[in-house]
């Protein structure tokens, strides 16, 4: 059996602001396995950041218990801070702006016990090289771009090799190339160092690419926990076949009769066929189109986590 | 750690560092010019060196005012910038983090004010004794830690009440006028002397002068010691309590609401 890193039970958090009460988290129960990357998904205001901030000891809940590596997070927060890394959302102003990126990383790493200067400097250079940040290491934090600041903040969370790492929308300000490098690095690094990582993101392809499991939160409640594949399986189709053509009703009727087709949707310029056996459906669709002397452009795309997310959110409304 | 950061920044901005040193030297020089004019009016206070008397007060006052105000300034900056989320997720106790940050800034200020201290020591040189130096250092350290606790209380106030600059101003005003740093308390009415005894810095500053240059005290020496030590204990307990209250509030509502 895999070791459990974090065990959350009946966690509830309420915010009171100007007489207005907001239930940010409602009775959350969650187990996080050691070494896994857990993606926390959800719409804005769902409670993702609140959950991370409670785990990172920045907030205290009204109710519930959290155990992380045998540490009672709510009672022994000082002890927990020895083993965590944290990267928040707002990276723009989140470091002493006159220090360089390198100095920022060294400064915060020094707050951890048993951190050796040589080791940390070596680690900073290694990570920055991996994510393509080396040439900016000696630039002052205030002169860095948004993405570079974000990269510094992410490195700060990882450089001391924590046992438990929280990354709140880590690739938010990263350009696509850096984001890709970052994802590849993150996955390899946390595997190698066995770092249990909790990532919140709105980027569904990122969740699909790096997360071992995902948890979907909406209005403070957990809607789904499982692997990205299991998440996609909540949908009644596995693939979408898109034709760049509006079809007549008789043809649509024929398409709907294909056994593996779940449904067919039409827009003014295209037709989308949802299927759970893409190869069989594709053969049948092309055969029908050939008989009708039609040659539309055909695009086949697998269902994504984003599709599943949209479905769950729409069903919840 | 925080000292490392502050020294790194100090070294980076050479021109600012030169201005600081120039400021300290100019300060000492102006004090020396000012002393003959001032000394006539305070000649009755009983001290072996009026120059040192004034210089000690003139240098301890801004230094310890900075001790009070820098924690609040740091708390304010961290809240504004969001760094507080990062400093509060480090393993260092939050109370210690602010204290260390403050200590590092004051250590640098000590270096900056060193020309003034040196001048004070030169003028007091004939009267210095090893025991006097030792006891004055002890009194200075106790005074410093009392002021630090006061600073932590104001810093925590920043977390509790969002803006507390006015309170900081009041505290510094009282310290400036009633600590005896500039205006010797001996020349003021005795009722004010009693009130001034409970102003942070007064007792420790008077003890520093007493042990270094034999200045007269405004109360028996044992009472000055009791007040100095009691202030430290009371302020430390209060600071810890208020800081914890601020921390709990921040953890309850989230730093983005502060």
Spatial contact of B51 and B32, defined as CB atoms under 8 Å apart: yes
CATH architecture of A239-304: 2-Layer Sandwich (3.30)
Report chain B residues whose CB lies below 8 A from the CB of A110.
Answer: 1, 4
Q: How many CB pairs under 8 A join A and B?
A: 76
Shortest distance between the Cα of B77 and any Cα of chain A, in A, equals 10
Q: Which residues of A65-99 are buried (b: 16+ CB within 10 A; e: fewer)?
A: ebbbbebebbeebebbbbbbbbbbbbbbebbbbeb
Q: What is the pLDDT of residues A267-301, one digit of tens each?
A: 888 999 999 889 999 999 999 999 988 889 999 99
Find the mean pLDDT for residues B45-53: 72
Among residues 85-104 of chain A, which lie with CB inside 8 Å of chain B? 86, 88, 90, 93-99, 103
A279 touches chain B (CB under 8 A): no
* Chain A from 152 to 211: CB within 8 A of any B CB: 156
pLDDT at A1 over 50: no
How far is residue A276 CA from its own chain's centroid? 26
Residues of chain B whose beta carbon is less than 8 angstroms from a beta carbon of chain A are 1, 4-5, 8-9, 12, 80-83, 85-86, 88-93, 97, 248, 251-255, 257
* Token pair in block for residue B195: 């009130």
Cβ contact, residue pair B8, A103, below 8 Å: yes
Q: What is the pLDDT of residue A230?
A: 87
Task: With cut-offs at 50, 70 and 90, classify the pLDDT of residue A26.
Answer: very high
At residue B256, does pLDDT exceed 70?
Answer: no
Residue B34 above 70 pLDDT? no
Non-local CB neighbours of B70 within 8 Å, separated by 6+ positions: B101, B102, B105, B106, B151
Query: For residue A15, how many other CB atoms are within 10 A of its CB?
Result: 16
Quick one: closest CA in B to A106, which residue? B1
Q: How far apart are CA B67 and CA B100, in angstroms?
A: 11
| CATH code of the domain occupying A4-232 | 3.40.50.300
CA distance B253 to chain A (A): 6
Asked which of A99-108, A208-217, B107-116 is least confident by mean pLDDT, the reply is B107-116
Q: What angle do CA B63, B67, B70 make, to 5 degrees?
A: 115
Strand partners, B230: none
% of residues, chain B, pLDDT over 70: 87
Instruction: Calculate mean pLDDT across residues A163-182.
Output: 87
Element (H, E) at A180: helix A176-193
pLDDT at residue B105, as a whole number: 81
* Cα-Cα end-to-end distance for chain A: 37
d(CA B156, CA B80): 15
Q: In what order do the strands lie in the sheet with A271-275?
A: A261-266, A271-275, A239-243, A298-302
- Chain B: residue nearest A93 by CA? B81
Residue with tokens 């001790």: B67
Tell me if A168 sits within 8 A of A40, measured CB to CB: no
**Which pLDDT value is given to residue A200?**
92
- CA dist A208 and A223 (Å) reads 17
Mean pLDDT of B168-193: 78
pLDDT(A218) > 50: yes
SS3 assignment, position A47: coil
* A238 has a pLDDT exceeding 70: yes
Q: What is the mean pLDDT of residues A229-245?
A: 87
Kind and range of the H or E element at A241?
strand A239-243
User: In this predicted structure, what is the pLDDT of residue B140?
Assistant: 87
Higher pLDDT, B10 or A201: A201
The pLDDT score that the predictor gives to residue A188 is 92
Tell me what the pLDDT averaged over chain A comes to: 89
**What's the pLDDT tens digit per position in B4-32?**
777 777 777 777 677 777 777 776 676 66
- Mean pLDDT throughout B55-69? 76
pLDDT at A203: 84
Q: To which residue do tokens 């692997």 refer?
A: A227
Residue B70 near residue B106, CB atoms below 8 Å? yes
Return d(Cα A235, Cα A21) in angstroms, integer. 35
Gap between the Cα atoms of A10 and A232, Å rounded: 27
B89 contact residues in A (CB cutoff 8 A): 56-58, 81, 84, 86
pLDDT at B162 over 80: no
Work out the pLDDT band at A163, boundaries 50, 70, 90.
very high
Q: Where are the domains of chain A?
A: 4-232, 239-304
The Cα A101–Cα A138 span in angstroms is 6
So what's the pLDDT on residue B159? 75
Residue A32 clears pLDDT 70, i.e. is over it: yes
Single pTM value for the model: 0.80
Q: Average pLDDT, stretch A122-140?
A: 88
At residue A93, does pLDDT exceed 60? yes
**Is residue B193's pLDDT more than 90?**
no
Question: Averaged over A216-232, what is the pLDDT?
Answer: 90
Which residue from A16, A57, A98 is facing B9, i.e. has the nearest CB? A98
Tokens of A289: 């189109």
Query: Where do the structural domains in chain B lie, given as residue ranges?
Result: 2-257
Q: Do A16 and B83 touch (CB under 8 A)?
A: no
CA distance A88 to A198: 12
pLDDT of the residue at B164: 72
Cα–Cα distance, A50 to A60 (Å, whole number): 10
Q: Are B85 and A99 an interchain contact pair (Cβ–Cβ within 8 Å)?
A: no
Closest C-alpha among A306, A302, A312, A300 to residue A234: A312
To the nearest whole Å, the CA of A301 is away from the closest chain B CA by 41
């Amino acid at each position: 059996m895999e070791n459990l890193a974090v065990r959350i039970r009946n966690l509830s958090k309420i915010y009171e602001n100007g007489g207005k009460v907001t239930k940010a988290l409602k009775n959350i129960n969650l187990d996080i396995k050691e070494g896994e990357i857990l993606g926390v998904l959800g719409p804005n205001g769902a409670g993702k950041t609140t959950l991370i901030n409670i785990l990172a000891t920045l907030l205290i809940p009204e109710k519930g218990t959290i155990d992380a590596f045998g540490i009672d997070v709510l009672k022994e927060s000082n002890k927990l801070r020895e083993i965590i890394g944290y990267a928040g959302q707002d990276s723009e102003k989140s470091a002493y702006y006159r220090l360089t990126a390198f100095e920022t990383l060294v400064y915060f790493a020094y707050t951890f016990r048993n951190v050796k200067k040589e080791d940390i400097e070596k680690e900073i250079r290694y990570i920055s090289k991996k994510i393509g940040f080396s040439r900016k290491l000696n630039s002052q934090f205030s002169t860095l771009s948004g993405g570079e600041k974000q990269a510094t903040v992410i490195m700060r969370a990882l450089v001391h090799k924590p046992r438990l790492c929280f990354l709140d929308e880590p690739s938010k300000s990263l350009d696509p190339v850096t984001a890709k490098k970052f994802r590849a690095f993150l996955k390899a690094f946390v595997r190698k160092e066995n770092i249990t990582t909790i990532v919140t993101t709105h980027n569904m392809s990122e969740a699909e690419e790096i997360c071992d499991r995902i948890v979907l939160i909406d209005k403070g409640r957990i809607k789904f926990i499982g692997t990205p594949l299991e998440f996609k399986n909540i949908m009644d189709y596995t693939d979408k076949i898109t034709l760049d053509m509006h079809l007549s009703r008789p043809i649509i009727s024929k398409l709907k009769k294909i056994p593996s087709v779940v449904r067919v949707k039409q827009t003014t310029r295209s037709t989308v066929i949802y299927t759970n056996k893409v190869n069989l459906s594709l053969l049948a669709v092309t055969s029908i189109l050939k008989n009708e002397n039609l040659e539309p452009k055909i695009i086949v795309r697998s269902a994504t986590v984003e599709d599943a997310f949209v479905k769950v959110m729409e069903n919840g409304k | 750690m925080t000292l490392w950061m502050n020294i790194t920044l100090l070294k980076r901005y050479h021109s600012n560092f030169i201005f600081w040193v120039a400021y300290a030297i100019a300060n000492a020089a102006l004090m020396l010019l000012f002393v003959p004019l001032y000394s006539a009016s305070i000649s009755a206070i009983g001290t072996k060196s009026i120059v040192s008397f004034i210089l000690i007060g003139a240098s301890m006052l801004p230094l310890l005012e900075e001790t009070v105000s820098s924690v609040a300034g740091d708390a304010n900056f961290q809240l504004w910038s969001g760094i507080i989320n990062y400093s509060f997720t480090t393993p260092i106790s939050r109370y210690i983090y602010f204290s260390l940050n403050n200590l590092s800034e004051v250590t640098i200020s000590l270096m900056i004010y060193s020309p003034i201290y040196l001048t004070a020591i030169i003028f007091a040189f004939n009267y210095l004794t090893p025991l006097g130096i030792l006891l004055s250092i002890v009194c200075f350290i106790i005074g410093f830690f009392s002021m630090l606790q006061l600073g932590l209380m104001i810093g925590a106030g920043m977390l509790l009440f969002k803006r507390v600059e006015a309170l900081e101003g009041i505290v510094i005003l009282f310290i400036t006028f009633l600590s005896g740093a500039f205006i010797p308390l001996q020349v003021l009415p005795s009722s004010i002397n009693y009130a001034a005894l409970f102003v942070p810095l007064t007792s420790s500053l008077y003890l520093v002068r007493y042990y270094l240059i034999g200045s007269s005290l405004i109360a028996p020496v044992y009472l000055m010691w009791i007040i100095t030590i009691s202030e430290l204990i009371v302020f430390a307990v209060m600071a810890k309590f208020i800081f914890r209250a601020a921390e709990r509030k921040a953890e309850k509502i989230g730093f983005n609401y502060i």
